[in-house]
Structure 1
Amino acid sequence: MSALLDVTGLRVTYPGRGFRARPDEVLHGVSLDVAEGETHGLVGESGSGKTTIGRAVLGLVATSGGTITFAGQDITHATRKSRRALARDIQVVFQDPYGSLNPALTVGDILSEPLRVQGVEAGRARARIGELLDQVGLPGDSYERLPREFSGGQRQRVAIARALAPSPRLIVCDEPVSALDLSNQARVLDLFVDIQRRTGVAYLFVSHDLAVIRHVSHRVSVIHRGDIVECGPAAQVTSSPEHPYTQTLMLAAPVADPVRQRARRAGRRRLAAAEPKR
């Protein structure tokens, strides 16, 4: 498989807080790639830099080094005009399904917006929205309803439908199920897998949960303190990790057996104690 997205030596630096504070480099030369039709999972704890990678790909944060290439085109410092054109091929699903939707617009208006930007005429847009609602498992009468009339899982389906509207080649999924309860998480994850099977869209899937990443990913990169510490096939990284930090993430996932859970907690404490301090 050829690389659709290629991130090489990516660095992102934020200004320091306070007078004369030193700049804070949050990504230290990160490299990863996403193939056509692939899900590349990016997993790490809060503050590891995983969301910053997704935001850099979307052009939402400035980079201080490295390159981001999409379909052979360098988009590291793409202009606003170029970014508008890229929106046809690169879309995003954010963490909060309600905060990412305009509460004053109906679902029909939300889904037609990216189509209007592309110049799709009204009749074709209405037909496309009907396809999208069916694709994400929402009833046809959703068109006239407001986001507040839906549950959290249904709102995330609306957000997924909006991302799919322009038929993108890549979707950046930024913790898309972390705000949902477990039953809705499973349904939405299965929806992502089903959509990829039918459309061939690629995902850069960002999460702090190794179990979520295992469910949807073909390959996994583990990020810790701004560095990729392990990368490989999802089955290998999520079941037999080599790096101590990945092992800690695996042990952090709860299990139903209290004896095994006690042993996992003890193992996690040992790994945490052995980790070098910064």
Structure 2
Amino acid sequence: MTDLLKVSDLKLRYPSKKLRGFSPEILRGISLTIAPGETLGLVGESGSGKTTLGRAVLGLAKPTSGSIHFDGRDITHLSGRERRPLARDIQVVFQDPYTSLNPALQIADILSEPLIAQGVDPQEARRSVTDLLDRVGMPRNAAERYPREFSGGQRQRVAIARALALKPRLIVCDEPVSALDLTTQAKALELFIELQQQTGVSYLFITHDLSVVRHISHRVAVMYKGELVETGPTRDVTTHPTNNYTQNLLLAAPTADPDRQRDRREARRRLRESADSGLSAGVT
């Protein structure tokens, strides 16, 4: 099967006036693939570079070297005008469902806007709104209301509906459930899975939480300081991780069982001590 997305040896650093040149490398030779209908969970702590990678795929950050291919086409250095047609195929769902929705627009306008921008007749675009709301489990009367009238989980459903409006083949999901409470988070994840089964869309699912990627992803890629340190099937990476950093992420995942949480803290302490002793002995 041909890869839908292929990222090869991608490196990126931002221009820096303070440093009179460029920042240190944020992405340091990233290579990954996503197949049609697949979810790749990209996991790492804040500052690992995972959001920057998502921005590079979306054309919002310019790589310094390497390549990004979508459906066999090199999209690494496309101009804004050249990328505009790609909006039909590549969409995004951001972390904060409120700031990503224009508070001055009604939901119907928010959902029809991307369709109109792609040349769809405004009346036809408005007729599509009802179907989009149905698809994400929102009431039809939501169309005439404003984002502020909904809960965080409902606003995220609207954001997902907007991403689906153009029937994309890939959605970059940048921490899309981290701002939600656990119950709403679980419902949102089920919605992502259901929509993938219905449409065959692929996800690059960016998160800091291994428990989230365990639930939604087919494969997992773990980032640390701009590099991929471990990749593999979700079951393998989230059950028997081989990299110390991945093991720490797994142990850091919260649990409702206080005894298990205490055991995890102790395991993390031992892991850090082991890593520290290895470094002091000159082991890299």
TM-score normalised by L of structure 1: 0.96
1:186 alignment partner in structure 2: 186
Unaligned runs of 5+ in 1: none
Q: Does 1:9 align with 2:9?
A: yes
- Give 1:177's aligned residue: 177
Q: 2:251 maps to what in 1?
A: 251
User: 2:146 corresponds to which residue?
Assistant: 146
2:81 corresponds in structure 1 to 81
Letter in 2 for 1:12: L
Name structure 2 gaps, 5 residues minimum: none
8 Å contact from structure 1 (residues 219, 234) kept in 2: yes
Indicate if the aligned counterparts of 1:16 and 1:24 stay in contact, CA closer than 8 A: no
CA spacing shift, 1:22–1:39, aligned 2, 3 Å? closer
1:271 aligns with 271
Q: Is the 8 A contact 1:163 1:171 kept in 2?
A: yes
| Residue-by-residue CA offset, 1:146-188 (whole Å, 9 max, x unaligned) | 0000000000000000000000000000000011111110000
Q: Distance in 2 between matches of 1:125 and 1:5?
A: 28
Measured in 2, the distance between the counterparts of 1:184 and 1:272 equals 33
Q: How many residues align?
A: 278
| Partners of 1:48 and 1:225 within 8 A in 2 | yes
Aligned to 2:122: 122
Residue deviations 1:67-106, cap 9 Å, x none? Answer: 0000000000011112111001000000000000000000
Aligned match of 1:38: 38
- What corresponds to 2:200 in structure 1? 200
Supply the RMSD in Å over aligned alpha carbons.
1.6
2 CA distance for matches of 1:52 and 1:227?
12
Alpha-carbon distance in structure 2 between the residues aligned to 1:146 and 1:208: 30
Tell me, in whole angstroms, the C-alpha distance in 2 between the residues paired with 1:181 and 1:63. Answer: 35
1:83/1:269 Cα in 2 relative to 1: closer, same or farther (>3 Å)? Answer: same
Report the residue type matching 1:225 in the other structure.
K
Cα deviation digits, residues 114-141 of structure 1 (max 9, x gap): 1101221233212211110000000000
Q: Does the CA contact (< 8 Å) of 1:15 and 1:24 recur in 2?
A: no
Assess if the C-alpha contact under 8 Å between 1:101 and 1:110 holds in 2: yes
Distance 1:19 1:227 in 2: 22
Change (3 A) 1:70 1:19: closer
